[in-house]
Structure 1
Amino acid sequence: MAIQHAKPGEVFDVGPLGDAIANTKTSTLLKTEAFEVLRLNLPAGKVIAEHKARGEISVQCIEGRVIFTAMDNANELTAGKMLFLSAAEPHAVQALEDSSLLVTLILGKK
């Protein structure tokens, strides 16, 4: 079965999940050759070890609190906070609370 992504012009919700966050899996909301947007849901205590994205990324905290480590800095992201990283910048994430992040990856043309 193919993964369903948003279609051009389609409205979709990226608001806080509230109590549903614990039962909602991470999902790719849309994907094209140029970029990908995913909703990353992390339970409290979850750690994503240092890794790199091939393209530039933006990360916006929708709800919860995470420590986002990149460029020798550990920054706390809370609801409404956002950051941007250049391509291939090593980074890691640790959820301090149940958290939901909106991640945009710039892929460029293949």
Structure 2
Amino acid sequence: MMAIPHAQPGEVINVQPLGKELATSQTRTLFKSDNIEIIRLVMAAGKVLTEHKAPRDITVQCLEGVIAFTAMGKVQQLSAGQMLLVAAGEPHSVECLEPASFLLTLYGPK
């Protein structure tokens, strides 16, 4: 079995909306190093990521669709072009309100 290729420093990464390919695309790690990890999550409407904690600070940037992000005692809807910062260890969950893709970026040493 071969490892999934990740982008290398200096390589252009396409994060444009998937559009009609959204329904057939899968979540994929785009880049991973000791200090940063960038994952493009793809979720169908109705899918839920139950409450969990990240070991590092994260940003969530919606690329298309709409997600409901619960953290810090409130639910916020994110749509294309919106981003949210969450501190390391903060409990959070995600519910996909429409088919969506978003970037999850984890910052800092593992």
TM-score norm. by structure 1 comes to 0.97
Whichever residue aligns with residue 7 of structure 1, its letter is Q
Q: How does 1:1-110 map to 2 (within 5 A)?
A: 1-108=2-109, 110=110
String of CA shifts for 1:13-41, please: whole Å, max 9, x gaps. Answer: 00000010010000000000111000000
- Seq. identity, %: 51
Quote how far apart the aligned CAs of 1:106 are. Answer: 1.4
**Structure 1 segments (4+ residues) deviating >3 Å:** none
TM-score, normalising length from structure 2?
Answer: 0.97
* CA displacement at 1:5 relative to structure 2: 0.3
Show structure 1 runs of 5+ residues with no match.
Answer: none
Partner SS state of residue 30, structure 1: strand
Between the aligned partners of 2:70 and 2:98, the Cα distance in structure 1 is 16
- Please tell me the root mean square deviation across aligned C-alpha atoms, in Å: 0.8
